[in-house]
Structure 1
């Protein structure tokens, strides 16, 4: 039986919408200016104690509402996802026909803020995905929802890549989105995982995470007819089978997903030029990731976490952080890990502190989440 040739998959448009701004360019400017969207908040509607988080402000929400008005009553979550997708489509040089395009939505909690006020069907993730696809004019094919804790965004990109590689669609728009809600904040507070200051991934004095909210979108294609931003080469996933909320103690399972993705991409660890880590700034996540990188021979590679800029954006994180990888590849510049001062993991790690010019051909993206899930992706120059 002849082996099917897998089509190359490219990114041709992105959007990032968070507290840093309403487009990818604003996020890159934040990188250059070492600017964080994480701020101190006192809001009794969300928490009975003050907290640090990266929330969209009132004027940003007003702009999003204005540009997502429809005949259908959309939730704030759906508006944020729709806005990001529309912005990516508006910047895309290639017209996406509905019959050729797959819509993939990545989220962890969707409309969870409506839990006590709306019917179950309105809370269903597939309902949100269908509404968003319809408003985009891309509902010819049933949209796909990926909801798998904090690896959702990376898994959504890898899923879309595989569908495109197989030739079932010509294009895909991958949307990652999660709102900042009391439900999620209280959950992480119950784990005592929330930092009382801006987070500091991989730092010796890190205290935990900050939460954020974000809509992010990446348009993928197998039709190299327009300006190509980057290529998505491969991806893989694994599970620790260790603990419902605690990561692996050794990093071996994430290392398996890393090595599998590298093998699928046809490269070795020596060819990786930059790592975009999950880097939540919790004690155990950062240790586990560092151990996994060391096991894969990546301890001397430039590594950063984007969480210091936007907080942990949950289902949007993998898409947002991949959009920033694409910017790095285009600009040939490393992303500093905001908040890092001194190494606080038990193995060597080259955490980036300056936005320096650097030859970047291949980038590794990693993500890990509750339930022991791990996901990886390999990006490269187009």
Structure 2
């Protein structure tokens, strides 16, 4: 890196949430870059709602009031933390974007330092397409305040270039702590693993329907492990009560999640919309074949050499893909090994840290900050 490379970094985003890809990324970012930069993390997490919104009534009003006061307090205190060479703001769509835009405007008003906006989330494309003229003008204004943009994949780079006037886009995929996963490739009978928030968008209903259908076939032998929590947990609770081959673990720790993925054979994520899901990458790190959907960045990392992709809400396709992998031990295990190798080649924190530092260095020395884009997984889909 050049002599003008930054010495300090301020990371802005939600870092204390139990779940969520942004929080996981920020925690890893602070840990991995801490030996190379002076890193400060400014937490923007809202207080956990713990069912207050679904409960309604006074509980909902109380939580909304606390969340609003907390958000205001964080904005008021933010200027005290602006002593950094580069500010890296993590944002998703809708409310997340508008909240983070306040921090971006404050940085621009108070300091003359480079700002990086890092776009996460599953529906930023829909967010842009649905925005009217006034909202689109505001979104463009926020991007104009930023010196660089980070996206998760070529798909999202193309979305931003098509919808906005942006420059200096860096493709930095989500990372995985690969060394913490120890895959077991020859599990017998094969184990299907579903680890996700149990919400409609993650395709939980389609997954449960497909598993129920597969378990009715007498020629298949497999087990199913499900972990996570959310408003559709009743579907997996009922499934586990109906079939001995299904175990629902509820919310699990990071160590428990890694153990499930290490001992799994097929990781399933029949999602409707995604950015680049860390859970899917972790399934790859655990040596699983992948069955997922043709949304977001997933086709850039999953192809015929390492998994099957189906359209969202396609239960028949999901059943066919899972059934084929359950029956074919050699192919399933080969896919798992291919996935592990792909994670080690492109998605470790060592690779991602270097790309982040390259981006920051470009911003502070005046060069084009965008590293050469990589189409991760292209070798798998030829």
TM-score, length basis structure 1: 0.31
Name the structure with the higher helix share: 2
Q: Which has the higher contact order (CA 8 A, sep 6+)?
A: 1
Pick the structure with greater CA Rg. 2
